Amino acid sequence: MGGDVVRFVLVLLHLLVEAAPYIPVDGEYPPRPDSTYSLFKTLEERMAVELCRWNPSLKMIDLLFSNVMNPEDYDAFPGFNHDPRARKWKLWGYIDARDGAQAVRLALGVELTGTEIFIISNADT
């Protein structure tokens, strides 16, 4: 395999069904798939590592998004404070859809090879 750098950006949505071993979740958080969907996403991340090993010019960036919100969704935020447990499945995190689009655009343009995983969330998460 060779040739020009090939770029892939994978957007993965993450959530927690069982208790996290620690918070805040970071890049060292171990994969703990608990559904067919999450198992596939875990395998997809591993495949990216191996494909980049096979082709050193390949770039694959995984963006882990949490709870993508549109501007009109922000009106509901004050209601989340009444029962904090209701948002536990996302560890109370979110990103603005516009920020998610910007993350994809920046990931496509970054000059690197190999695979990288980035957790994308708002600063107040």
Q: What are the strands of the beta sheet with 114-120, ordered from one edge?
A: 7-13, 59-65, 114-120
**For residues 109 and 92, which has the higher predicted lDDT (pLDDT)?**
109
pLDDT tens, position by position, 10-60 = 777 665 556 667 777 677 777 778 788 878 888 988 999 999 999 988 889
Question: Residue 100 is inside which H or E element, if any?
Answer: helix 97-109
Report pLDDT digits (tens) over 103-118. 999 999 988 888 988 8
Mean pLDDT for 88-114 is: 86
pLDDT at 73 over 80: yes
User: Is pLDDT of 75 > 80?
Assistant: yes
In 3D, which of 1, 7, 21 has the Cα closest to residue 61? 7
Tell me what pLDDT residue 121 has.
86
For residue 39, the model assigns a pLDDT of 87
Q: For residues 95 and 92, give the distance between their C-alpha atoms in angstroms, rounded to a whole number.
A: 11
Distances (CA, A) of 96 to 17, 32, 65: 22, 26, 10
Q: What is the model's pTM?
A: 0.75
Inform me whether the pLDDT recorded for 76 exceeds 60.
Answer: yes
Quote the pLDDT of residue 17.
58
What pLDDT is recorded for position 105? 93
Question: How far apart (Å, rounded) are the C-alpha atoms in residues 101 and 105?
Answer: 6
Over residues 85-113, the mean pLDDT reads: 85
